Amino acid sequence: MRIAPGDLDDPRVRAMIAAHQTRAIAETGRGSAHALDVDGLRAPDIQLWTIWEGDTLAGVGALRSLKPELGELKSMYSSPEFRGQGYARAMLAHLVERARAAGHGRVSLETGSWDYFIPARGLYAAAGFEVCGPFGDYRPDPNSVFMTRAIAPSV
């Protein structure tokens, strides 16, 4: 298992991001999917990371800096054949550590409220994330669950 910066020009990464966005749109209410496409992930305030098993892409995850004190997890996705094997946990821990290194005191996220997202919500809860209200530009939405976790910034 190896985590590396994401290359948005790598066709494997692009295909995984497209699969994530397609699935997010299919598994939530109309207009409520917030998964970013490749162009959205190119924003200067976003760092994309990939997780690999050998030469096989197992997943992606991104960290957006919303404010100096607040980071947002984006585009967490594991390939179905790698689910339940610790790849998502490893990516989540990596992203939290990157947020800490960036000086964020809090990391928040938006995920879906539909059954498809139950494993994701369980992963986040197990990592210390708690349900919260909307943050950033999000608005209340019955199709979304917002979660947050305080972290101690690196000194």
**CA–CA distance, 47 with 145 (Å, rounded to integer):** 23
Residues 6+ apart with CB under 8 A from 143: 28, 29, 32, 112, 113, 114
pLDDT of residue 113: 92
> In 3-state terms, what secondary structure has residue 116?
helix
CATH 3.30.70.260, domain 2-150, yes or no: no
CA 33 → CA 29, 44, 79, 93, distances in Å?
Answer: 7, 21, 19, 24
Give tens-digit pLDDT for 17-66. Answer: 999 988 888 888 887 888 889 999 999 999 999 999 999 999 999 999 99
State pTM to two decimals. 0.92
Run of H or E including 123: helix 118-126
Residues 6+ apart with CB under 8 A from 101: 154
pLDDT of residue 153: 64
Return mean pLDDT, the chain.
93
Domain positions in the chain are 2-150
**DSSP state, residue 89:** H
Over 80: is that where the pLDDT of 155 sits?
A: no
pLDDT of residue 84: 87
pLDDT of residue 34: 87
What proportion of the chain, given as a percentage, has pLDDT over 90? 82
